Amino acid sequence: MAYNKEIDLRIKKIVSNWKNTENKKMFGGVCHLIDGKMFCGVNNDNLILRLGAENAETALGLAHVEPFDITGKPMKGWVMIGKDGTGSDDDLKEWLGKAREFVNTLSSK
pLDDT (tens digit, 0 to 9) for every residue of the chain, 109 residues total? 578 999 999 999 999 999 999 999 887 789 999 999 999 999 899 999 999 999 999 999 999 999 999 889 999 999 999 989 998 999 999 999 999 999 999 987 6
Comparing C-alpha atoms, which of 58, 100, 64 is closest to residue 83?
Answer: 64
CA distance 25 to 1: 11
* Domains of the chain in sequence order: 5-103 (3.90.1150.30)
In angstroms, what is the C-alpha Rg of the chain?
13
DSSP code, position 52: -
Please state whether 71 falls in left (phi above 0), alpha (psi between -120 and 50) or beta.
alpha
* pLDDT value for 103: 97
